[in-house]
Structure 1
Amino acid sequence: MLSTSSSENHRSGFIALIGRPNVGKSTLVNQLVGEKVAITSPVAQTTRNRLRAILTTEDAQMVLVDTPGIHKPHHLLGERLVQSARSAIGEVDLVVLLLEGCERPGRGDAFIVKLLRQQPLPVLVALNKWDKLPEDRQAEAEAAYGELLKETAWPIHRCSALSGEGCSALSSAMAAQLPLGPQLYPPEMVSDQPERVLMGELIREQVLLHTREEIPHSVAVTIDRVEELPAGGKGGGRTAVLATVMVERKSQKGILIGKGGAMLKTIGQGARLQMQTLIDGPVYLELFVKVVPDWRSKPARLAELGYGVES
């Protein structure tokens, strides 16, 4: 049975983080929760799953729904990701619209604002990366975002998901908007994602960080087996993880493996270190690379990978 706060003023609920690709939604989730639960990279559209992270404070429990960036899709996978993000809006108690405060708002931002104005949920605006904006440009940015949001009454918060500046005030404002209610998850939980899903994402993160531009969006990862090795045998006491990295072309497979297997080794080493933090123990990781032509446009393959239509 889940514990409940003794305070009659305890609040709980679901909060969707909505915005264009690469505005820092996953970085903000990690900053608010206080540990890494979402993968990040400089590559747009890093987030594919609607990951739920759990932030528990003394007076509130916030379930943060990190959604894929809303963008113009170019294949079936992209359509599914945008559909996932848009459907999340109707399933939460609060929306946080994340905007890139250090850049001028664009048509993508205006599209999302229009989308959010059509629903009745409360919305908070977070101008992320505000610390990157020189002081002499802040007034100009304030005016530009004021124009973008002129037909709304949404509160605006300036913050940096990377440094944490302004995030405490944002967290308090988010909690205040949630309905009264008990804790929805045990207080020690920081994510409701299965361990295998998180492992696959950690591998994909390393691919995003280490490979050139043609690779990242063509990659999917499946965890084929997770096994505890016997304490007395070879590699005893470690968790063995076997995973497959899927790409669309043979040339991409060659890039991922690298000369003499060097790139795959680098990806594996980075992922293994992250996995050891995740499970708090030693990991043996073996990676395979498989070519599946045009997998991003095949409904059956997308369903197998968990990118089906959200209910």
Structure 2
Amino acid sequence: MTHGEKRKPRFVDMDQPSVARMYDWLLGGSANFESDRNACQRLLDIAPSTQKLAQTNRAFLRRVVRALVEEYGITQFIDHGSGLPTQDNVHEIAQRLDPGSRVVYVDNDPMVLAHARTTLDENDRTLVLDYDMRDTESIIRSAKKVLDWTKPVAALFVSVLHCLADTDDERAPDRVVRRVAAALPPGSYMVICQLVSDDAKVRDGVTKLMEQETRGQWGRVRTTEEVARFFDGMQIEPPGLGDVIDWRPDAPPPPKHLRPTDWVEWGGLARI
């Protein structure tokens, strides 16, 4: 692993739920605390399909990274808001297909950083950066230490933009996406998906709960129309935007009447 710029160590607060640790629990991981598990249970009360959606999202990540390497020839990735290491991380998927693949992970959760650096210590084609995913300038500057900026890069925002609040400044999620797109080399790609719901009660209930549980480290559950606007100016790749369970599935996806009705992971792949 190539080490990023050193930042001041931060305390892991076991009493405050974190989005990364909650996601870890939903995927069946063990890097979480009682506060995270309790928050997940309250989340499941509002949106019962949450655990299934976490698994669906992880499967989408595997498929889209595989497609980028095999079909598009992409071997460089920046994973924004990478979360806790679990099975089939981006570098594992990509490097199985092309051992020369390089991956930059970006996160600022102290537990994520500790686990990632331990897990990736012997992999010299990965870089872990301790940055807020909105700090594009610092991320790109540091990523260039391991990525070749004369070749395309895939920027991943997989199930993380709902963690960013809508603002009137450069920290707004749509502006973050546009800024990253403008900074990447020609021929690069963008992967975006986030939690969406047509049910205002679910959108508002989850947003309120997560805002309280994470003490402000949350954004908003959005509508499909709002997420579609993140892709403005990009060329959407087949099969288009939609529920990620339908994105090039390895097996027939479930019929509509057996799918969640509360919320879904929605997005896709685009060429910049």
Bin the TM-score by the shorter chain.
Answer: 0.3 to 0.5
TM-score scaled by structure 1?
0.29
Please identify the structure whose Cα radius of gyration is greater: 1
More strand per residue: 1
TM-score scaled by structure 2?
0.32
